[in-house]
Chain A
Amino acid sequence: MSHLTNLLRKEVKELMTGQMIASMLLMIFMFAILGNVIGNVQSEAMKQEVRISLLDLDMSAESKKLTELLNSQQNVALTTLGTESTEDALKIADNHSSSALLVIPSGFGEKIDNKEGADVDVYGIVRGLGIMDTTNSAKTQVAVSVINELIAQEYVREAYPGTEPSNILNPVRPKSFIVLRGVVSEGSPEMITSLLMGQSVLVPVILMIAIMFAGQMVITSMGMEKENKTLETLLTLPVSRSTIILGKIGGATIVAFIMSIIYLLGFGYYMRSITPNSSISMPSLSMGVLGYALLGVSLFLAILVALSLSMLLGVYSQDTKSAQTMIMPVTLLVMIPFFLLMFSDYTTMPTALRALLFAIPFSHPMIASRALLFGDYAVVIAGIVYMALFAVILWLITIRVFRSDRIITAKITFRRKR
């Protein structure tokens, strides 16, 4: 076994405590249950019929027609009430546990006949604010608006026999195209925005998770060496400083990787169960293999930088508790570009902000995720080179610190001050 493998094994064993595994499993379990429950409630709610009560005070041919139309709709269980007053009807509707009461006032048929537009009163009966109630009220709305559509079509058929009603009702049909940096594609600006939002949230979120878990792990592993007083012994073993550092970073990465995967699986399962899958694809806005490769490299380097930075911060952590706060500056450096890029685009920013963003290594995967969509490779490659340099310099500094007194004395001065 090489020294590195030996160190890696130890790091993983130290970080993968029973407590950590337990809390991880608990989290997945909770996500899974939560996703399942919410998903079930939702799909149950969608499947179930909505109960609607109807009070017809008009009793005209038109109101009968409306009742018929409502009755013929799927998902609607209609109860026609025979009372005279709305108040009584409401009570009965409530007893029937209807979600809504529709009241057709007298004079309805006449107004419809004269094409004056007629009112129908819709009383939504709210019993709670759960998913069931909200979907029921939505379904009532849909049922009523479908009626409108059907009646309008009826009018059109009468007036223009032999024509397709939808051609009269919606004579102009806009077809959307977008021109993005000279490329024309079908779609609407909203689609782009939501695609970009997806991208600009997804990449930083992955980055955040990776940095928070891995960075935390690295700092914790340094904090543990200090807390358990194992660092001095480790540093006098016949193994190079860079191997020790690599072992710590590697071990933390392995543990963080496992945790992230489990976390994402749990979370992904949760998201899938509560949202129906919708995916937007735009041929002119896709990355291609090279794009994905570059994004991968960019993400990898950003994580490497985060780990090296955490390693350096870890030197100054006294124990596992202070390790928790030590990660803060790293998190901050991810948040700044995240918010800046959420509200504006790198290419259209003032130069000063662009310089700031470029200087923060964690901006680059976020910039890259957009730039690559537009085939803008220059800024991505510049970012990759910058991050690589940043990582190398951090690495050199870290090794220097590991060779210096500071790795030992950072702890001692603190302890003596207490």
Chain B
Amino acid sequence: MTAIVVDGLRKTFGKIAALDGVTFSVEEREIFGLIGPNGAGKTTTLRILSTLLKPTEGSVSIFGHDVVKEDSEVRKFISYLPEDAGAYKNLKGTEYLRFMAEFFASGRDRESMVKRAAELTGLGERLNDKVSTYSKGMMRKLLVARALMMRPRLAVLDEPTSGLDVINAKEVRDTIKRFAKEGTAVLLSSHNMLEVDFLCDRIALIDRGRIVETGEPEELKKKYGAKNIEDVFIEVVS
């Protein structure tokens, strides 16, 4: 079954057209990357998919459910990681994870979910500290773990590795790859072209609210005669 079908998506904020006819689709178990310059419309697209914003025109369906009409159904199998997110300051790391897990499981299932997430964070003992004491990267790892711990059918990740050091970023990428193998469809945005190249099965280049190029990384590199995705990006956008 197709995980995401986006068709002719338009979104305006007053006079600003953030999205101007975006169309793409993502298959199950696929990792799909959205890349594009700042303000291109990546976050807006991901927010519409996550039922946070309503499209002005066009439609989005996730596993066959319309994001507007069946938003509460959609929320049951997606997990969204905002690009600029935080956690509840007064909770400890574990408390935060438990609070989040409670929405997806209960009893022993919940506890094993929390345990899995705790391992994913790699924060160890620090999970017993209040979230307010975490560094930016520690916070990001906590949030990535929370986004993946319930093994969602679709993970929508807005710049998942932003703020992470090289080692932690690599760990997160490996985790994402592993979850995709285990059955999670992933839609992510990123400014890190190496990351996109390594992670994504397919990518879409978005510029000024339109998809200007879609394809597998290798395919695109060949098409533009480029060494890497960065060159493709520069070629397409400029």
Q: Which residues of A contact B (CB under 8 A)?
A: 1, 3, 6, 9-10, 13-14, 16-17, 224, 228-230, 232-233, 235-240, 403-405, 408-409, 413
Min CB distance A222 to B, Å, is 13
CA distance A305 to B38 in the complex (A): 43
Within 8 A of A (CB), among B119-155: 143, 146
Whether the Cβ atoms of A238 and B99 lie closer than 8 Å is: no
Whether the pair B13, A236 counts as a contact (CB closer than 8 A) is no
Contacts A/B (CB < 8 Å), 24 sampled: A1-B102, A6-B102, A9-B99, A13-B88, A13-B91, A14-B90, A17-B90, A224-B89, A228-B89, A229-B82, A229-B85, A229-B86, A230-B85, A230-B87, A232-B50, A232-B52, A232-B85, A236-B51, A236-B52, A237-B100, A238-B75, A408-B52, A409-B13, A413-B13
Residues of chain B with a CB closer than 8 A to A403's CB: 71
B199 smallest CB distance to A (angstroms): 22
Contacts from B to A (Cβ < 8 Å): 13, 47, 50-54, 71-72, 75-76, 78-82, 84-91, 95, 99-100, 102-104, 106, 143, 146
Q: Which residues of B contact A239 (CB under 8 A)?
A: 75, 103
Q: Which of B53, B86, B87, B104 has the largest count of A CB atoms less than 10 A from its CB?
A: B86
Residues of A within 8 A of B75 (CB): 236-239
Minimum Cβ distance to chain B for residue A64 (Å): 78
Are A408 and B88 in contact, CB atoms less than 8 angstroms apart? no
Inter-chain CA distance A224–B102, complex, in Å, is: 21
- CB-nearest residue of chain B to A6: B102
A9 to B96, CA, bound (A): 11
Across-interface contacts of B81 in A (CB, < 8 A): 233
Contacts of A237 in B (CB 8 A): 75, 100, 103
Cβ A3 vs Cβ B103 within 8 A: yes
Given the contacts A229-B84, A404-B54, A238 and B104 also touching, CB distance less than 8 Å: yes
Given A13-B88, A228-B87, A236-B51, 13 new contacts (CB under 8 A): A1-B102, A3-B103, A6-B103, A16-B90, A229-B84, A235-B51, A235-B52, A238-B75, A238-B104, A239-B103, A240-B72, A408-B47, A409-B53
Closest approach, in angstroms, between the C-beta of B5 and any C-beta of chain A? 19
Known: A232-B80, A235-B52, A238-B72. A14 touches B88 (CB 8 A): yes
Shortest Cβ gap from B117 to chain A (Å): 14
For residue B75, which residue of chain A has the nearest CB? A238
Nearest CB in chain A to that of B98: its residue: A6
When distances are taken between beta carbons in the complex, the residues of chain B under 8 Å from A224 are 89
CA distance A10 to B99 in the complex (A): 7
Shortest B214–chain A CB gap in Å is: 25
Q: Beyond A237-B75, A239-B103, is A13–B47 a contact (Cβ under 8 Å)?
A: no
Q: Which residues of A contact B86 (CB under 8 A)?
A: 228-230
Say how far B131's CB is from chain A's closest CB, in angstroms.
9
Residues of chain B within 8 A of A240, CB atoms compared: 72
Per CB-CB distance, the 9 closest pairs between chain A and chain B, nearest first, are A229-B86, A236-B80, A228-B86, A232-B82, A6-B102, A238-B76, A238-B75, A236-B50, A14-B90
List, in ascending order, chain A residues with CB within 8 A of B146's CB: 233
Are A230 and B80 closer than 8 Å at their CB atoms?
no
CB proximity of B93 to chain A, nearest CB, Å: 13
A404 CA / B106 CA spacing, docked (Å): 30
A228 to B96, CA, bound (A): 13
User: Which one of A224, A230, A408 has the greatest number of beta carbons of chain B within 10 Å?
Assistant: A230
Closest beta carbon of chain A to B44's beta carbon, Å: 10
Give chain A nearest CB distance to B189 CB in angstroms.
Answer: 14
In Å, the complex CA distance between A10 and B51 comes to: 23
B103 CB contacts on chain A under 8 angstroms:
3, 6, 237-239
Distance to closest chain A CB from B113 (angstroms):
14
Q: How far is the CA of A186 from the CA of B182 in the complex (A)?
A: 85
Contacts of B90 in A (CB 8 A): 13-14, 16-17
Asked if B78 and A236 make an inter-chain contact with CB atoms under 8 angstroms apart, the answer reads yes
With contacts A233-B80, A236-B78 known, is A14 near B53, CB below 8 A? no
Q: Which residues of A contact B52 (CB under 8 A)?
A: 232, 235-236, 405, 408
Residue on A nearest B102 in the bound complex, by CB: A6
Chain B: minimal CB distance from A417 (Å): 12
Q: Given A238-B72, A239-B103, A405-B54, verify A233-B91 contact (CB < 8 Å).
A: no
| Distance of A403 Cα from B52 Cα, bound (Å) | 8
* B235 CB to nearest chain A CB (Å): 30
Tell me how far the C-beta of B66 lies from the nearest C-beta in chain A, rounded to whole angstroms: 14
Chain A residues, CB < 8 A from B76? 238
- Rounded to whole Å, the gap between the CB of A230 and the closest CB of chain B is 6
A408-B89 in contact (CB<8A): no
Smallest distance from the beta carbon of B209 to chain A beta carbons, Å?
A: 16
CA–CA, A14 and B86, complex, Å: 14
Bound Cα distance from A6 to B100, whole angstroms: 9
Smallest beta-carbon distance B184→chain A, Å: 15
CB-CB nearest in chain B for A413: B13
